[in-house]
């Protein structure tokens, strides 16, 4: 965690200047292209990170608190590289970039910690893309379902907070393909779907599809 690298003084400095906010589902936290003024500490909730290009959305990741969001922009220029939108109610602290920057220049460890965090999240995104680029749609979708089950909800039964369109923007395929693939999996008894509620019935089989597909 980033806070591990802060002295008490630095922490209270940041904390005093910090605003903790409550966000509803589907609120924009940071908008791609707008001035980079805050980094967010997502203490509770789920957020999607996406990139928009010619009206097309690509979802880079779904992030679960506690986590830092927007940190990568520290090293990328003056405006947000991607958008962050809540998928559930969230609690987020906004930390002023100018203040965090001061702390970073004084505290090499904090800088290294932040950087490592940013690099890791980049690495995750890239591994995700590599994975997708080597798989067919059913494999990608199996991967997304397993990700939600194991990394986000720690349960085989969950409410996938993304629409079918969004799942397709995450997987990198058409919406119909997502719908078809999910229906087919349901027919084969691998999952049960009830709108956005998903129940993984045969996890090993789903794992196989992810590995092979």
Q: Name the site residues for DNA (rule: CB under 7 A).
A: 136-138, 163-165, 172-174, 176-177, 179-180, 182-183, 193-196
Residue 142 contact, options DNA, a copy of itself, none, Cβ 5-8 Å cut-off depending on partner type: none
Which candidate, 68, 87, 82, places its Cα nearest to that of 166? Answer: 87
User: Which residues 6+ apart lie within 8 Å of 138 measured at CB?
Assistant: 181, 184, 185, 209, 213
Our CB check for DNA shows the closer of 17 and 165 to be 165
Greatest Cα-to-Cα distance within the chain, rounded to the nearest angstrom: 59
CA 61 – CA 163 distance, rounded (Å): 15
Point out which residues bind a copy of itself (CB under 8 A).
51, 53, 56, 58, 60, 72, 74-76, 81, 105, 108, 111-112, 115-116, 118-120, 122-123, 125-126, 129-134, 172
Pairing of strands 46-53, 19-23: unpaired
In the three-class reduction of DSSP (H, G, I as helix; E, B as strand; rest coil), residue 64 is classed as strand
Pick 176 or 188: Cβ nearer DNA: 176
The binder of 51, among a copy of itself, DNA, none, by C-beta within 5 to 8 A per type, is a copy of itself
Q: Quick one: what does residue 179 bind among DNA, a copy of itself, none, with the CB cut-off 5 to 8 Å set by partner type?
A: DNA
- Distance from C-alpha of 198 to C-alpha of 5, rounded to nearest angstrom: 39
**Shortest gap between Cβ of 174 and a copy of itself (angstroms)?**
12
Closest by alpha carbon to 41, among 83, 71, 85, 4?
71
33: left (phi over 0), alpha (psi -120 to 50) or beta: left
Question: Cβ closer to a copy of itself: 51 or 147?
Answer: 51
Residue labelled with tokens 């799942």 = 167
Q: Closer CB to DNA, residue 106 or residue 165?
A: 165
We find the least distance from the C-beta atom of residue 16 to DNA, in angstroms, to be: 36
Q: Which residue has the tokens 């003084």?
A: 9
In whole angstroms, how close is the CB of 148 to a copy of itself at the nearest point?
20
Residue 208 interacts with, from a copy of itself, DNA, none (CB under 5-8 Å by kind) = none
Shortest Å distance, C-beta 190 to a copy of itself: 23
Minimum CB–partner distance for residue 147 and a copy of itself (Å): 17
């Amino acid at each position: 965690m980033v806070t591990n690298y802060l002295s008490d003084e630095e922490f209270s400095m940041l904390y005093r200047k910090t605003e903790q906010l409550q966000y509803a589902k589907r609120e924009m936290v940071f908008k791609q292209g707008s001035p980079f003024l805050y980094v967010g500490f997502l203490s509770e909730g789920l957020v999607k990170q996406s990139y928009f290009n010619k009206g097309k959305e690509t979802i880079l990741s779904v992030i679960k608190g506690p986590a830092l969001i927007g940190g990568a922009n520290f090293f990328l220029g003056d405006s947000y590289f991607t958008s962050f939108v809540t998928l559930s109610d969230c609690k987020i602290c906004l930390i002023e970039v100018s203040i965090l920057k001061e702390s970073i220049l004084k505290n090499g460890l904090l800088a290294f910690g932040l950087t490592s965090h940013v690099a890791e999240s980049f690495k995750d995104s890239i591994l995700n893309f590599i994975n997708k680029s080597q798989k067919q749609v059913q494999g990608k979708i199996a991967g997304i379902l397993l990700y939600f089950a194991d990394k986000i909800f720690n349960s085989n039964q969950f409410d996938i907070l993304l629409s079918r369109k969004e799942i397709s923007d995450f997987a990198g395929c058409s919406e119909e393909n997502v719908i078809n693939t999910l229906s087919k999996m349901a027919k084969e008894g691998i999952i049960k779907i009830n709108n956005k509620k998903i129940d993984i019935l045969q996890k090993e089989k789903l794992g196989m599809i992810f590995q092979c597909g």
